[in-house]
């Protein structure tokens, strides 16, 4: 068994248990809320219900992280099996990255946002895409951070990659300069094709040829 398979199997097993933990927390807090709603004369009832609602919100946050870890575990297993051509859904991996790297981003007063798009299969494995995105994050952090990076899977000149938009920051200029050597700056026509409201400098991270099915 390779190291990758070992890590993937253990991660998958741990995520399964983590989901069970989240399920118990969700049902127990949900039951407490149900019982509180049945009793109107409980002191500070509304405050307790609000606190339980926050528990539910945190469970949803944990579930999102669990889904991201599931994808990592599957990527590890697929890499070992070698039965399928290497590839991934770029949109899904961008979402995974934003979820898993949020803590790293916060350390540099940054935020990561993902713009949901349709599935986009590319001929590149999950680890390679994550490594490329992490390099972008590190470069932005190295330039002082304090920006929001908005990521979106896209195709440019028949090449699949990720649009990186710098938004909501007082350090956008320095971060733009740091990303310039790594990414392709987008200007002009392509901006008109983008679905979200443009607020800051746009870059393209080229990754692989677009895969058509």
Strand ranges in the chain using DSSP code E only, listed in sequence order: 88-89, 111-114, 121-122, 148-156, 159-167, 184-186, 202-209
Minimal distance, residue 59 CB to other proteins, in Å: 6
Interface with other proteins (CB under 8 A), residue from 2, 6, 10, 23: 23
**Phi, psi for residue 94 in degrees, rounded to 5:** -60, -40
The stretch among 58-66, 78-86, 112-120, 136-144 that binds other proteins (CB under 8 A) is 58-66
Q: Does 9 bind other proteins (CB under 8 A)?
A: no
Minimal distance, residue 94 CB to other proteins, in Å: 18
Interface with other proteins (CB under 8 A), residue from 70, 121, 138, 168: 70
DSSP string, 69-84: HHHHHHHHHHHHH--S
Per the CB < 8 A criterion, the answer to whether 124 and 161 are in contact is: no
Interface with other proteins (CB under 8 A), residue from 2, 6, 10, 16: 16
Site string for other proteins, 148-167 (x = CB under 8 A): --------------------
Q: Binders of other proteins: how many residues, by CB under 8 A?
A: 25
- What's the rounded Cα separation, in Å, for the pair 135 and 196? 24
Q: Which of 9, 186, 13, 162 is nearest to 91 (CA)?
A: 162
Q: Does 30 bind other proteins (CB under 8 A)?
A: yes
DSSP string, 134-164: HHHHHHHHHTT--SEEEEEEEEETTEEEEEE
Residues at the contact surface with other proteins, assessed by CB under 8 A: 12, 15-20, 22-28, 30-31, 34, 38, 56, 59, 62-63, 67, 70, 74
């Amino acid at each position: 068994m390779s190291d990758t398979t070992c890590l993937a199997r253990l991660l998958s097993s741990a995520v399964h248990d983590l989901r069970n933990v989240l399920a118990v927390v969700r049902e127990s807090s949900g039951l407490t809320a149900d019982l509180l709603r049945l009793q109107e004369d409980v002191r500070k009832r509304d405050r307790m219900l609000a606190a339980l609602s926050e528990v539910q919100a945190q469970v949803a946050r944990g579930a999102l992280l669990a889904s991201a870890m599931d994808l990592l575990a599957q990527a590890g297993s697929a890499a070992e099996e070698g039965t399928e051509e290497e590839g991934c859904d770029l949109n899904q991996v961008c979402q995974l990255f934003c979820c898993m790297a949020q803590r790293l981003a916060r350390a540099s007063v940054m935020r990561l946002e993902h713009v949901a798009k349709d599935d986009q299969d590319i001929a590149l494995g999950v680890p390679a895409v994550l490594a490329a995105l992490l390099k972008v994050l590190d470069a932005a952090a190295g330039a002082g951070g304090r920006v929001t990076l908005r990521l979106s899977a896209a195709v440019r000149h028949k090449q699949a990659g990720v649009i990186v938009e710098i938004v909501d920051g007082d350090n956008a200029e320095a971060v733009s300069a740091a990303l310039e050597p790594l990414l392709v700056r987008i200007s002009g026509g392509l901006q008109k094709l983008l679905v979200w409201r443009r607020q800051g400098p746009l870059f393209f991270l080229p990754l692989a040829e677009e895969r058509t099915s």
